[in-house]
């Protein structure tokens, strides 16, 4: 089975910080990776697909990069509304999908 490992699991940051979250996969998935943001008690929100393409309406401070087995989600300047949990998702084996374990971003 294809495994996704996100790091870190928890991250404390301040407003204005540059933040990077990593997602590593156990097999080469080219660029078949998506990123989501989830706030407490809310449904996930799509941020990025195909590793680096922003969904419509997502602020440009969010960016994604990577291919193969290592991917990153970067927030260039953390805003108050960005404190949330972030998940990566591999779509290489679509429709048999897996999500990463999540990265919770907390206020420092």
* Contact partners, residue 9, CB within 8 Å, separation at least 6: 101, 102, 103, 104
Mask for 56-85, x = binds other proteins (CB under 8 A): ------------------------------
Smallest separation (angstroms) from other proteins to the CB of 78: 22
Q: Evaluate whether 64 touches 73 at the Cβ level (below 8 Å).
A: yes
H helix or E strand, kind and range, residue 101: none
Judged by CB under 8 A, which of 24, 44, 63, 67 binds other proteins?
A: 44
Q: Pairing between strand 53-54 and 45-49?
A: antiparallel
Q: Which is nearer to other proteins, 17 or 69 (CB)?
A: 69
Both structure tokens of 81: 């509304």
Query: Residues touching other proteins: how many (CB under 8 A)?
Result: 27
Residues that bind other proteins (CB under 8 A): 31-32, 34, 36, 38, 42-46, 48-50, 53, 55, 87, 89, 91, 94-102
């Amino acid at each position: 089975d294809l495994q996704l490992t996100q790091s870190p699991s928890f991250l404390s940051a301040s407003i204005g910080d540059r933040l990077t979250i990593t997602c590593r996969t156990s097999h080469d998935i080219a660029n078949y990776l998506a990123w989501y943001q989830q706030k407490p008690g809310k449904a996930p929100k799509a941020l990025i697909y195909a590793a680096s393409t922003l969904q419509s309406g997502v602020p440009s401070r969010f960016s994604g990069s990577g291919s193969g087995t290592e991917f990153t989600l970067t927030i260039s300047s953390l805003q108050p509304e960005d404190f949330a949990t972030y998940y990566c998702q591999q779509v290489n084996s679509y429709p048999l999908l897996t999500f990463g374990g999540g990265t919770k971003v907390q206020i420092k």
